[in-house]
Amino acid sequence: MTGEPGRYDLSLLSPADAAVAVRSFPRRFRELLERARRDGDERAAALVRDRALETATALGAAARRLGGPAGAGSVDVGPGDDLDGLAAEAEHLAAAVDRVRDWDEGDALQVLRDAVQAGSGKVRDAERAVLDDG
């Protein structure tokens, strides 16, 4: 963690590790959504879906900035969705990671780390809502 509450120090996060983290977000949100539904907590389920949509938006924006595939940033997570949109954006960003040739040029690495930071924060918000009962 950094000195800022809720933020991790990602200064040593490699592009490969970032891609693994990004690909984990859909699974983590799905598990939280399933738990909220199993517990009958519609408020928590709605929050999980909202945070998943916010994560999908952040990942899509990062994928576009990194020259991701066509369609990156255009996927939505609807209210009844099982988070396939988030999974698509995670894959778009992971594909963009594979396309970057020089991580020392420009701000590509910071864009990627910012996306991981955003997604991690949204997962933590969802975990608090589901696992801490509010």
Q: What are the structural domain ranges in the chain?
A: 15-131
Above pLDDT 70, what percent of the chain? 81
pLDDT tens-digit map of 28-68: 999 999 999 999 999 999 999 999 999 999 999 999 999 87
Q: Which band of pLDDT confidence, cut at 50, 70 and 90, is reported for residue 76?
A: low
- Rama region for 32: left / alpha / beta (φ>0; ψ in -120 to 50; rest): alpha
Q: Is the pLDDT of residue 82 over 80?
A: no
| Nearest residue to 15 (alpha-carbon basis) of 119, 91, 96 | 96
> pTM of whole model > 0.75?
yes
Q: Which band of pLDDT confidence, cut at 50, 70 and 90, is reported for residue 11?
A: confident
Looking up tokens 């020089």 gives 102
Element (H, E) at 96: helix 84-99
